[in-house]
Amino acid sequence: MTFDKGSLILVDYTAKVKDSDEVFDTTIEADAKKHSLHEENVKYHPKLVSIGETSYPVLKGFDEALAKTSVGDKLTVEVTPDKGFGERDSTKVRMIPIRKLGEDAEKVSVGDSIEVDNKRGIIRYIGSGRVQMDFNHRFAGKTILFDVNVLKSLDSPNDKVDAILKERLPVEDTNIVFDLKDKEASITIPEEILRADGLQIMKHFIQMDIFKFIKTLEKISFVETHVNKQAPAKKPEATSEQKTV
C-alpha cells in the first residue's frame, strides 16, 4: 500500500551527507547522542509527515520516496540537490566589510553561522578588513541520505489529533490530554505553557491542522485551567474520634 496526497504518517529517520557521512539530523535520541547532536530541550520522537502537503513537510525528494512506501518499510532514501537543499549559487557568496558586523566583528571566526541583513550565512574567510559570507544553505549542492523506518499511517481521528498535538505543543507527550466526542474535540492546554509566548499561534495552527485533516469535526474547544496557588491550604477535616475527644 502506498500513501495518497494528504496522508499523515509517522517515520523515524537519521539524515546524513552522502559524500562525508556527516549526520546532521535525526528523530532518534540514541542516534543523536551517538553523533554528538543531542540537545536537552529537543523532543525526540517520530516525525509527523503530511504526504504532498505543506503542513508537515520534508524535502521534496524525501516526500516523493515516502509516498511510494508502506508501513513497516525500512529503507535508505537518496535525495539529490535539485530535490533537496538546492544547488549552490555563486551569487550568494559575497564579500562585505567586517565593520558591518558591528560589535560581533571581534567575536566571529571562519565557519560561524551568523545573520547579516536579515539573512543567515556562513563565514568562509576573514582578512584585510573584509568577510566572505556564504548565504547558500549549509547543504546546498549536497546529496542527502535518509535511513528511514515507516512506522505508522494515521487513519483514525484520535491518532491524527494525538500526533498533531505532539508536534505542535512543546510539552512532554504524557502531558497531552484531549477528548473526541462525535463532531467535537476538547483539548486541554498543559499548565506549563499557559503563559508561554506564542500560545495563541500554537492554538491557531492546531485548529487549522485538525480541521484540515479531520473533515468531520465541527468544533474545537481549548480548555485552560488556572489554579490559585496563593490560596491558603485547606486543613484536613477532623475524624469522628478527634471530634469526640
125: domain CATH number? 2.40.10.330
In this prediction, residue 129 carries a pLDDT of: 94
For residue 143, give the nearest of 21, 13, 26, 17 by alpha carbon: 17
240 within some domain: no
Got the DSSP string for the chain?
A: ----TT-EEEEEEEEEETTT--EEEES-HHHHHHTT---TT----PEEEETT-SSS---HHHHHHHTT--TT-EEEEEE-GGGTT----GGGEEEEEGGGGGGGGGT--TT-EEEETTEEEEEEEEETTEEEEE-S-TTTT--EEEEEEEEEE--SHHHHHHHHHHHHS-S-GGG-EEEEETTEEEEEPPGGGTT-TTHHHHHHHHHHHHHHH-TT--EEEEE-----TTSPPPPPPPPHHHHH-
Supply the pLDDT for residue 65.
98
Q: What is the pLDDT of residue 104?
A: 85
Indicate if 67 and 149 belong to the same structural domain: yes
Say if 239 falls within a structural domain: no
If one counts every other C-beta atom within 10 angstroms of the C-beta of residue 55, the result is 16
Look at residue 121 and tell me if it is in a domain: yes
Q: Give average pLDDT by consecutive 10-residue segment, the chain, 245 residues.
A: 94 98 98 97 95 96 98 99 98 95 90 93 95 96 99 98 96 95 96 95 98 98 91 71 58
Residues 68, 9, single domain; the answer is yes
124 & 192 share domain: no
Q: Dihedrals φ, ψ of 154, to 5°? A: -90, 100
Domain boundary among 71, 102, 134: 134
Closest CA to 67 of 123, 16, 7, 124: 7
Residue 145 lies in a domain: yes
71 and 188 within one domain: no
Amino acid at 181: K
pLDDT for the residue 10: 99
Residue-range definition of the domain harbouring residue 192: 156-232
> Per the domain annotation, does 238 fall within a domain?
no
For 52, list phi and psi in degrees, rounded to 5. 70, 10
For the domain that residue 189 is a member of, what is the CATH number?
A: 3.30.70.2210
CA distance 131 to 122: 10
**Domain count for the chain:** 3
The reply to whether 81 and 67 lie within a common domain is yes
* Spatial distance between the Cα atoms of 61 and 74, rounded to a whole number of angstroms: 16
Same domain for 149 and 39, yes or no, is yes
160 and 147 both lie in a single domain: no
Instruction: Please give the grid coordinates belonging to residue 99.
Output: 565593520
Q: In this structure, how many other beta carbons lie within 10 angstroms of the beta carbon of residue 24?
A: 15
Question: What's the rounded Cα separation, in Å, for the pair 15 and 21?
Answer: 9
- Whole-model pTM: value is 0.86
- For residue 27, give the CATH number of its domain: 3.10.50.40
Q: Is residue 195 part of a domain?
A: yes
**102, part of any domain:** yes
